[in-house]
Amino acid sequence: MDKFIIEGPTPLKGTISISGSKNAALPLMAAALLGDSPTTLQLVPKLQDIYTFNNVIRVTGTRVDFHETENKLVIDPANLGFTEAPYDLVRKMRASFYMLGALVGRAGEARISLPGGCAWGPRPVDLHLKGFEEMGISIELDKGYVMASIQGDEVEGGEFTLNPSSVGATVNLVLGAVKRAKKFVIKNAAKEPDVVLLCNMLTKMGANIEGIGTSELTIRKVDSLKGVEFSNDPDRIETGTFMIAAAMQPGSDLTLTGCKPSDLGEFPKSFKKLGVILDINDTEIRIQSSSAIKPVSISTEVYPGFPTDLQAQWATLMTQADGESRITEKIYFDRFSYVPELNRLGADLRVEKNRVIVKGKTELEGAAVMSTDLRASVSLVLAGMVAKGTTEVLRVYHLDRGYENLEHKLNAVGASIKRVAEN
């Protein structure tokens, strides 16, 4: 397991190009299985989760060629014959559960391992399963696997309300319905850009989906879908993460290229309250930090609200703000594993129920800290770049799941991050 050794503080100056989105690419890869011909996806990031999902898809007999230097993925489902996704792969990455919708959509059956834990435990999939049953797909649970099947070629469909609005359940139900449900309505559907992009790709493949971009999707089955050339979105969470990195560092002047600012929803509104200089055009964002950061309290919401995937990074930023701020997490019950680690660096954060209270400004001092999940880990890297002295971030494999070439991108604009094998 590798670790990062980070020297700080290091203002960030220069340009970073944004990679393709992990969370948008995964549904597109699953959708490719529904095509009667090969699909080519552009702007696919070289990330552990992509490699993992490539292997999950290959288990079915589908051919997957990843032209890494071009970030291009070619998926040819012609020989798809094995409708299973095994536990030893699904447990590595929850989004493998999208294979349920993709395989039911393509083959009318699937045997998919439940992602870690049970259907109703932490990070549940109960909405996925209830939605498929409402659609008319039979669902059985057997020794940690979901067995899904349909009688005949199609199901009646129906109407299902997601409560809460779930990105993954929306993706899975759309994948299952486009070739199978006479008419299926998803109410309180997720509107995240990842869902809109998936629906746009399926429409290009020949699917019949109404209400794209709204919280009510109506899907009517079509008999066949064709493979397409399609481009992934740039990663909105990587974009927000680097915006925060620049704002944290006095003397920073960072330009992000290849962005899609419209995918950031209301995040720029909160960002502007910091008192930094923010210039946004249709593909670039420039951040010039100021000497003082204003405390800005936020609550995470579904799109277009403040993204939960930027919550940990925002808390780290608020350790440098002049005053107290409150960060409320409304999507997950407990997404604060980074708090004790940040406090080891000298921050002053206190968790109260689903809220973290941040007292700023605190001078951060380098120390050894532990990564626990993807977004918590990157918030520790941001902190290490501001902290005086040396910070060691352990178990950076969490980062390799979701940030392409992170240390190279940051070192190119002034950071000092060394990756070393952890003995």
Query: Closest residue to ligand EPZ, Cβ-based?
Result: 168
The yes or no reply on residue 126 touching ligand EPZ (CB under 6 A) is yes
Q: How far apart are CA 40 and CA 47, in angstroms?
A: 18
Options 40, 166, 241, 379; binder of ligand EPZ; rule CB under 6 A = 166
Residues 260-289 interacting with ligand EPZ (rule: CB under 6 A): none
Strands, sheet with 355-359, edge to edge from the N-terminal-most edge strand: 298-299, 324-328, 355-359, 349-352
Q: Which of residues 15-44 bind ligand EPZ (CB under 6 A)?
A: 23, 26
121 near ligand EPZ, rule: CB under 6 A: no
Q: What residues from 294 to 323 belong to the interface with ligand EPZ (CB under 6 A)? A: 308-309
State the residue for tokens 């923010």: 278
Under the binding rule (CB under 6 A), the answer on residue 195 touching ligand EPZ is no
Interaction between residue 128 and ligand EPZ (CB under 6 A): yes
Strand partners for 365: 388
Residue 118 designated active-site? yes
Helix (H, G, I), strand (E, B) or coil at 135: helix
Which one of 32, 102, 127, 181 is in contact with ligand EPZ (CB under 6 A)? 127
Distance in angstroms (rounded) separating the CA atoms of residues 421 and 396? 10
Contact between 230 and 236 under an 8 Å Cβ cutoff? The reply is: no
**Closest CB to ligand EPZ among 81 and 121?**
121
232 contacts ligand EPZ (rule: CB under 6 A): no
Evaluate whether 161 touches 206 at the Cβ level (below 8 Å).
Answer: no
Containing 138, the helix (H) or strand (E) segment is strand 138-142
Residues 64-103 binding ligand EPZ (CB under 6 A) are: 94-95
Question: Does 375 interact with ligand EPZ (rule: CB under 6 A)?
Answer: yes
Q: Is 168 in the site for ligand EPZ (CB under 6 A)?
A: yes
C-alpha–C-alpha distance, residues 153 and 179, integer Å: 9
Binding status of residue 199 toward ligand EPZ by CB under 6 A: no
Residue 169 found at the interface with ligand EPZ (CB under 6 A): yes
Of the listed pieces 119-127, 176-184, 217-225, 226-234, which binds ligand EPZ according to CB under 6 A? 119-127
- Residue 189 engages ligand EPZ in binding (rule: CB under 6 A): no
Chain centroid to CA 311: 13
Among 271, 341, 402, 409, binds ligand EPZ (CB under 6 A): 402
- Up-side HSE of residue 156: CA atoms within 13 Å toward CB? 7
- Could you tell me the smallest distance in angstroms from the CB atom of residue 22 to ligand EPZ? 6
Considering the complex, what minimum distance in angstroms separates the CB of residue 390 from ligand EPZ? 27
Other Cβ atoms within 10 Å of 85 Cβ, number = 26
**Alpha-carbon gap, residue 226 to 39, rounded angstroms:** 8
Return the range that interacts with ligand EPZ (CB under 6 A); candidates 121-129, 219-227, 259-267, 311-319.
121-129
Tell which residue, 309, 153, 159, 169, has the closest CA to residue 239: 309
Unique residue bearing structure tokens 């990031």: 45
- Per the residue annotation, which of 1, 118, 141, 277 is the catalytic one? 118
17 Ramachandran zone, left/alpha/beta (phi>0; psi -120 to 50) = beta
- Footprint on this chain of ligand EPZ (rule: CB under 6 A): 23, 26, 94-95, 123-128, 164, 166-169, 194, 308-309, 331-332, 374-375, 402
Active-site positions read 118
